[in-house]
Structure 1
Amino acid sequence: MPGKKPPSSLTTGLSCLIIVVMALITAFILMMTGRDNPIVLVPAKPWKSETPVTSRPPIKASTTQKVPTSATKTEETTRKPRNVCESPECIALAHQLHNWKNPSVDPCEDFYEYSCGKFNEHSLPSSSRLERKDKLMNSMLNKFLAKNETSNSISENSMKLFYRKCKDYYNPKTYRKLVIEKWREVISIFREIGSWPYLDENWDDSELDLNDAFTGLANYGFPFLTFFFLNSAENYTVSVATISMEKVEKLTVTDFKAVLTLSGIVPDEQLLEDDLKLVDELEKDISNLSSEADGEASLSDLQAAVPSIDFERIIRHFINSSKDDETWSKVKENVMVSKIPLFFNQTKNLETILKSTPKRTIANYIMFNFVRILNMHKNTDCLKEVLNDFSFPALRVLVQHYFDRENLQIASELVDNIKGHLINTFENSTWLHPETKKNAIRKVEMMKKIIGYPEEYDAPGALDKMYESLNFSTSDSYFQLDLKNFKFNTQLTLKLTPMASLLIMRESKNLAANAFHLRSRNWLGINIALLDDPFFDSTYPKYAQIAGVGAIIGHEIGHGFDPNGRKRDENGKENDWWTPEDSAEYDRRAQCLIDQYDEFDDPDFGKNLNGSITIGEIVADLIGVDVAWKTYKSLDMSAEPSIIGFENYSLDKLFYQLKALNWCGTGAEYDLEDQLKFVHPTESFRINGIFSNMKSFAETFNCPVGSPMNPEKKCELF
């Protein structure tokens, strides 16, 4: 087969010339067109606001793809930049907005389904936004604790040591051995504390000094003194009340014998059984007198009623201030006594019981019940133990390693803005009388705020001053660390009582994605987990900050005006400051919300809900969304960046969709019986029920009158 004829030199030259000319023409076209517009090789498809996406966009999303020429560089420096938030936090927020919604649903029919209908496709079971954040915070702290690294921080090292010892204690391979060691240490404590018949076969009544026994327990920091206990959580005062041993697991003769035998004590079983029966009878007497408190009394009143117990001496031992009069004077101002029959009944009370009961039975009552309390199963989740006992150090670790502190200032300003719009709401109310308005406004103005984390503990070494007395040693057993920690935390709690803001932060589970309103103080608190994405971020547009956290802030402030909170004044004291007419009108309006919840057709529970139980949260929800909306509408949002995919979308509509994200969930996790016990309404109602009362929502989405989201009858508060 013959081959092809080779090209001539002329043909070759012409071909080369043509190629060169074409290349020059192409280059010239590229240069000229590149001066004004980049060449679009593949048209980009920007997100449309009504179309959900299934994957996260690139951080630097672009509407075009450019040929990499020098002309492109010129275009990038002169073209007006896109005003779109492209931070990782904003991208994650855009992902939720697009992927969780179900655009096939009419927002005027079911806004919850419209905003959250595809949440299950992108979420783990039982994993709402709040639950996700809690898990993430715990995961970050767990990762920090698991690193076997020491630092210069006493509080951090103590926290890590406690965590490691806890892990070792609950290791199945060593658990039994360590439990035996624990009970031997308990018996040693009993010997140190004082008199107990089972530790001395020659024991007699004269050996029991009740106050010595109680101060001995106080020296170890145990607030449960069997006849009474100190509780700092109630109203953030030192509350002297009774402990209900009915809630503590009963132990048998065999159980107590096992504890005693560990220390080489072989008790007489019949005597032990008889003693336990007498202790049970005494416990019943005390329980019968431990009814609901009828008000409060002073420490001096208690001392006069029960002179056999030196309460001041005992409490001073708790705070290690037997010689520190200054600390004691501050704590003493905050001691509150529950006015219960056990203390103040005229015919039979703790004093008469102590006088009429054999000392052997009293001694056994103290020690047997102390064993029962120590036998209460601690949480085997060591991370939760750290969160309970080292809340400040744990919080500081997360703030320093993972938190944007700029968020705190923005949130603080947002609180003030939200408060201002609630004040405007009261001022513009058409039915509140002037005196009621004045009191309501004063309560908002006087409401204090606790935002995220106290600055005084941010400086290096600040927390170490607080924790230097903890005195952990690597040679300590987990039980010994637990004892030291128990004593330290009891003392710390009592010492912080005069500094209520720090105590409130410590007691409020400050690592949870949560906010709170403390009725008894009229204080608002916001934990750092809520001041972080996905709820809040300094890079978010203002409208997203207000919809995400502003509504939560408004909700918590609103608790000051729910059916229970409204009966307390600006200082948190019980004081019904409403005129009779206004009080009656408020109740009528609240009843509208109760009826609405009762009739709400919930996707999980149907029309079987009880608004009387949830009315406090419903009122707070309605106030929260209302003042957040008013705050949003009062600000100029024209310069705020868009969220990716919503560049040409109504901000008013976007506000409501952003608000809905917080309540997107996977559906009911409980049956109806349990749901009816909860004070919070269902997730569906927190969107559909609340939004259906807002005229602004109906106007924003142009919902027809009579549609589910724009009913003719709406419930309004102020």
Structure 2
Amino acid sequence: MSVKLQNLNWRDKTVNPCDNFYKASCGNYIELEITDGTRNTKKGKVIKRLIKEILVKNHETESKSENTMKQLYWKCEDLKNKTVKMLSNLAKLGHYNFGLYKLTKRQGWDMVLETDYEGVQHSGEQKMFQIISAILEANQIKFNESSIHEDLRNVHEFYEELKVNSSGWNKLAKIAPNIQFETILKNLLHPKNGNWTMLRPKILNAEAVFEKFSLNRTNTNGTLSKILANYLVLRFIKNSYSSISYTATVASNRACDDLVIHNLPRATLRAFVQHHFDRENLKIVSEMLEKTRHTYLEIIGNTTWLSEEGKKRASLKIEKIKKLVGYPDEYNKKGALDETFETLDTKKTDSFYTLMKKIKKYRAEILMDFIAFNKTLDPNKELFTVNAFYSAALNQLSIMVPFIDEPNMDSSYPVYAKYAVTGDILGHEMGHSMDTLGIQWNEFGEYERWMPEEDEKKYKKRIQCLRDQYEHYDDPDFGKHLDSSKVINEIIADRHGIDAAIQTYRSLKLQNEPKIIGFENESPEKMMFRILALVRRMGITVLLDPRIH
């Protein structure tokens, strides 16, 4: 119904489609659409409202993950009236972090241990002063304002010195022999599934781990010790910042639903799928992806400029692309995702701060599991992004649950409508495997310039031709203002996506497809272009509309 209404109402019959196809298809979008943003932006807002409804709704559930979501939400809301009490207990609660260090995931399934020196600097002196003052006042500790400002400036100078020093993981034992890095990391392993033997080789050398401190001024050992101690205290406060509220305003302005979505992404995904998602879409999109893959292999096979070796390597890369449609297949089993929460031991008496501390430890466990076992659901990814992604370092195409839901996708849509939106995106993301960056990574997600030298020369020539074509195009709305050097990979993916979607649909050779009311005389292929124009125009009109700027 939404596809029918949008195609009927947003078209502009006064415009000849041969002159401006976009305006002919959806020129009245701005006049009739009162909500700002693209359809994906709007979908994100809808999902957020649905998640908040789950959080505030008073209903019984046996799901541990959903109960944890609710507990975190209401602890966050309750905190808005308990700021001073929480600050006075901060020193007793402790914090689970690495002080100067942090775990960071890199491309693929690798991680590094590196210094986390940015945090204090980015907080700003005045904000840190306000936080420290609030904590001291809540604990009835007298303090000197000028002394705090001086300490903050000393820490800032220390930060500037710290960030120019570097070394790697292999030097850590020599640099700081008293810090048991391996013991700390082993304590973060999943109690049931953790495997240090598999994880250890994936911890890469990290930059920015301090090796020496010369500082640009003379310091006694006592002064340097004080600066380092202050730095660690500020790191403690900064790492706790998302979990504390140093003023009532900070607490009242905190969006508790956003906090739940960000800190418990897998639980939030499960709740949305359980309450609002049509799982039939997963099967449909997975099959569409495989058909699109087959089309790509045919296109490569029919290419006239690639050598046989080039075709072989390009085909192998497409064949080996891993797929994540919504979420891993193992989560289809009832209770499977909830099982991942078995190590998150929460109590009703937990404060908001304590609950956040436990959740951070739990997230570290699943991150290390993801890296050790090469799992597909990256815990660092925003699972509620209304989009799809291709990762060259994994050679993996991921299409997120919110994108394969209405209005982009529904099991009841005609096949041409499915390929016009979802099929185009599948083709687009798969196309990134062959863009100027994608061809630098092989089928295993390893850095390799696999294209034969002569083929690569021809490839670059064709890319330049494509750039020239777009830069010389006089767009009806934007004119000749495109710098293709900044968007060439998106242009490549767009061209691949449309071609693959059309060719895949044609290969199905469907007959008697359902017609959209008002467009009974239009062919399915023409409707594909109309729907695709409608979807893309929504983004373009946001840029053009003066009311939105």
- Give me the TM-score of the superposition, normalised by structure 1: 0.68
Counterpart of 1:646 in structure 2 is 519
Work out whether 1:336 is the aligned partner of 2:207. Answer: no
Structure 1 position 305, deviation (Å): 5.8
- Counterpart among 413, 428, 449 of residue 302 in structure 2: 428
Mapped partners of 2:193, 2:228: distance in 1: 32
Unaligned 5+ segments in structure 2 are: 243-249
Letter in 2 for 1:518: S
Is the Cα–Cα contact under 8 Å of residues 125 and 666 in structure 1 kept in the other structure?
Answer: no
- Counterpart among 231, 240, 249 of residue 124 in structure 2: 249
Cα gap change, 1:418 to 1:254, in 2 (>3 Å): closer
- Counterpart among 91, 113, 125 of residue 187 in structure 1: 91
Work out whether 1:169 is the aligned partner of 2:79. Answer: yes
Cα gap change, 1:644 to 1:133, in 2 (>3 Å): same
Partner SS, residue 526 of structure 1: strand
Structure 1 position 553, deviation (Å): 0.3
- Counterpart among 130, 152, 164 of residue 288 in structure 1: 164
- Counterpart among 451, 455, 465 of residue 578 in structure 1: 451
Within-5 A mapping of 1:87-486:
91-170=1-80, 174=81, 178-189=82-93, 220=96, 222=97, 225-226=99-100, 228-232=101-105, 234-243=107-116, 244-245=118-119, 246-251=121-126, 255-267=131-143, 272-289=148-165, 299-300=169-170, 302-303=172-173, 307=177, 309-319=179-189, 327-338=195-206, 340=207, 342-343=208-209, 349-350=210-211, 358-375=224-241, 380-486=254-360
Is the Cα–Cα contact under 8 Å of residues 447 and 570 in structure 1 kept in the other structure?
Answer: yes
Mapped partners of 1:356, 1:636: distance in 2: 81
Most deviating of 271-280 and 350-359:
350-359
Structure 1 position 527, deviation (Å): 1.1
Per-residue CA deviations over 1:9-45 (Å, capped at 9, x if unaligned) read: xxxxxxxxxxxxxxxxxxxxxxxxxxxxxxxxxxxxx
Letter in 2 for 1:483: K
Higher relative contact order (CA 8 A, sep 6+): 2
Is the Cα–Cα contact under 8 Å of residues 604 and 667 in structure 1 kept in the other structure?
Answer: no
Cα gap change, 1:436 to 1:639, in 2 (>3 Å): same
Per-residue CA deviations over 1:154-192 (Å, capped at 9, x if unaligned) read: 11111012112223334xxx2xxx3323332332246xx
Counterpart of 2:245 in structure 1 is none
Mapped partners of 1:455, 1:666: distance in 2: 32
Is the Cα–Cα contact under 8 Å of residues 543 and 637 in structure 1 kept in the other structure?
Answer: no
- Counterpart among 623, 627, 637 of residue 500 in structure 2: 627
Is the Cα–Cα contact under 8 Å of residues 418 and 628 in structure 1 kept in the other structure?
Answer: yes
Structure 1 position 558, deviation (Å): 0.7
Structure 1 position 364, deviation (Å): 2.0
Cα gap change, 1:325 to 1:652, in 2 (>3 Å): closer
Partner SS, residue 264 of structure 1: coil
Is the Cα–Cα contact under 8 Å of residues 515 and 556 in structure 1 kept in the other structure?
Answer: yes
Counterpart of 2:415 in structure 1 is 542
Is the Cα–Cα contact under 8 Å of residues 93 and 354 in structure 2 kept in the other structure?
Answer: no
Cα gap change, 1:353 to 1:181, in 2 (>3 Å): farther
RMSD: 2.9
Letter in 2 for 1:539: S
Mapped partners of 2:367, 2:89: distance in 1: 25
Letter in 2 for 1:330: M
Partner SS, residue 408 of structure 2: coil
Letter in 2 for 1:558: G
Partner SS, residue 44 of structure 2: helix
**Alignment size in residue pairs:** 529
Mapped partners of 2:77, 2:194: distance in 1: 40
Mapped partners of 1:531, 1:137: distance in 2: 13
Structure 1 position 615, deviation (Å): 1.3
Counterpart of 2:246 in structure 1 is none
Is the Cα–Cα contact under 8 Å of residues 163 and 382 in structure 1 kept in the other structure?
Answer: yes
Structure 1 position 516, deviation (Å): 0.6
Most deviating of 495-504 and 96-105:
495-504
Per-residue CA deviations over 1:226-245 (Å, capped at 9, x if unaligned) read: 3x311136534322233324
Mapped partners of 2:133, 2:256: distance in 1: 30
Mapped partners of 2:63, 2:490: distance in 1: 41
- Counterpart among 566, 590, 610 of residue 463 in structure 2: 590
- Give me the TM-score of the superposition, normalised by structure 2: 0.88
Mapped partners of 1:314, 1:275: distance in 2: 29
Mapped partners of 2:22, 2:132: distance in 1: 56
Partner SS, residue 525 of structure 1: strand
Mapped partners of 2:122, 2:151: distance in 1: 21
Is the Cα–Cα contact under 8 Å of residues 470 and 488 in structure 1 kept in the other structure?
Answer: yes
Structure 1 position 371, deviation (Å): 1.7
Per-residue CA deviations over 1:108-167 (Å, capped at 9, x if unaligned) read: 221211222111233224232212222222222221212022311111111012112223
Structure 1 position 419, deviation (Å): 0.8
Per-residue CA deviations over 1:497-544 (Å, capped at 9, x if unaligned) read: 23444442x333222221111111000111122222222222222222
Is the Cα–Cα contact under 8 Å of residues 308 and 351 in structure 1 kept in the other structure?
Answer: no
Unaligned 5+ segments in structure 1 are: 1-90, 191-216, 344-348, 673-718
Mapped partners of 2:158, 2:66: distance in 1: 45
Letter in 2 for 1:129: R
Per-residue CA deviations over 1:235-271 (Å, capped at 9, x if unaligned) read: 3432223332433333465653442342233345565
Within-5 A mapping of 1:525-564:
525-564=398-437
Structure (1 or 2) with the larger CA radius of gyration: 1
Most deviating of 629-638 and 367-376:
367-376
Per-residue CA deviations over 1:202-240 (Å, capped at 9, x if unaligned) read: xxxxxxxxxxxxxxx5xx2x35x33x3111365343222
Cα gap change, 1:97 to 1:396, in 2 (>3 Å): same
Most deviating of 324-333 and 630-639:
324-333
Partner SS, residue 292 of structure 2: helix
Cα gap change, 1:242 to 1:407, in 2 (>3 Å): same
Is the Cα–Cα contact under 8 Å of residues 230 and 240 in structure 1 kept in the other structure?
Answer: yes
